[in-house]
Amino acid sequence: MNIFTFKQEEDFIQTGASLIVSLIQGNPKAILGLATGSSPLGVYARLADMYTKGLVSFTEASSYNLDEYVGLPGEHPQSYNSFMKQHLFNHIDIDSTRTHIPNGHADDLQAECQSYDLMLEQNGPVDLQLLGIGSNGHIGFNEPDDNLSGGTHVVDLLEETIEANARFFTSLDEVPKQAITMGVGSIMKARQIVLLARGTDKAEAVKAALQGPITTECPASLLQCHPNVIVLLDEEAGRLLS
Ligand code: F6R
């Protein structure tokens, strides 16, 4: 595991974006695993900027997102489908038929999970999986639990996750209580994983994930078993690391 802690936000963002751009330049057909949330926002803005400047093209690349809320139509402003369009897909030349996000509004959610796994199985593995981390140590929406699921599944979000997500909704009642998420098994199949964490709220989860025991109680700790993980932190998120 390679851990980098940045003093400057600019360096954090540029390093994250450069990892993706170098991958695409070397392999234009690369498969990206993408996350939503605040952690990758700067990286997505930088990718859009680099595309605008002609430094990278995503026309042959494809992407698979980690997760989506259950019950929100794709066009809902807080769906992860809308998030990805707003923050990345509308600003780069990726072919929309090659972007994939679980459909949290499907009539048959189990069938949706199975077909997402099948697509990953047939087209994968993901070349570079971008991850954020929840302050409870979740990755994707794999919440701390006695057991973790390998494949894509429907998950009941924990209270702390619902509360953390509430910042994007007008009231707590509107926040979806379930999500579809890729499982840890699918995440761990990626050739390379880039974990992004910023802010003091993440410091304990980062410490537990990177230097604590490997346990389902901190799903991100499983990343210690992956052979190719790069962790990008700001000083606040890395402040408890020894
Ligand atoms: C989002 C996702 C989540 C977030 C995590 C951190 O697609 O899978 O695991 O990465 O909740 O969220 P932020 O970045 O908003 O702190």
pLDDT in tens, 184-230: 999 999 999 999 999 999 999 999 999 999 999 999 999 999 999 99
Lowest mean pLDDT among 12-16, 73-77, 95-99: 73-77
**Residue with CA closest to ligand 1 atom 10:** 132
Active site residues: 67, 136, 138, 143
What is the model's pTM? 0.97
Average predicted confidence (pLDDT) for the chain: 97
Tens of pLDDT, residues 8-39: 999 999 999 999 999 999 999 999 999 999 99
Q: How confident is the model at residue 1 (pLDDT cuts 50, 70, 90)?
A: very high
- pLDDT for position 208: 98
- pLDDT for position 226: 98
Q: How confident is the model at residue 162 (pLDDT cuts 50, 70, 90)?
A: very high
Question: Which atom in ligand 1 lies closest to the alpha carbon of residue 35?
Answer: 7
Question: Which atom in ligand 1 lies closest to the alpha carbon of residue 39?
Answer: 14
Residue 33: helix, strand or coil by DSSP? strand
Location of structure tokens 């579809």 = 180
**Residue with CA closest to ligand 1 atom 11:** 134
Mutational pocket test of ligand 1: of 12, 38, 39, the residue with most ligand atoms within 8 Å of the beta carbon: 39
The average pLDDT across 152-174 equals: 94
- pLDDT for position 180: 98
- pLDDT for position 14: 98
Compute, in angstroms, the gap from residue 27 CA to the centroid of ligand 1: 27
Helix 80-87 × helix 41-52 angle, to 10° = 40
Question: Which atom in ligand 1 lies closest to the alpha carbon of residue 138?
Answer: 9
Q: Please name the residues in contact with 44: beta carbons below 8 A apart, sequence gap of 6 or more.
A: 87, 88, 91
- pLDDT for position 69: 97
- 3-state secondary structure labels for all residues of 141-196: CECCCCCCCCCCEEEECCHHHHHHHHHHCCCHHHCCCEEEECCHHHHHCCCEEEEE
- What domains appear along the chain, each with residue ranges and CATH number? 2-229 (3.40.50.1360)
- 162 φ, ψ (degrees, to nearest 5): -60, -40
Ligand 1 binding residues, C-beta < 6 A: 35-39, 66-67, 132-134, 138-141
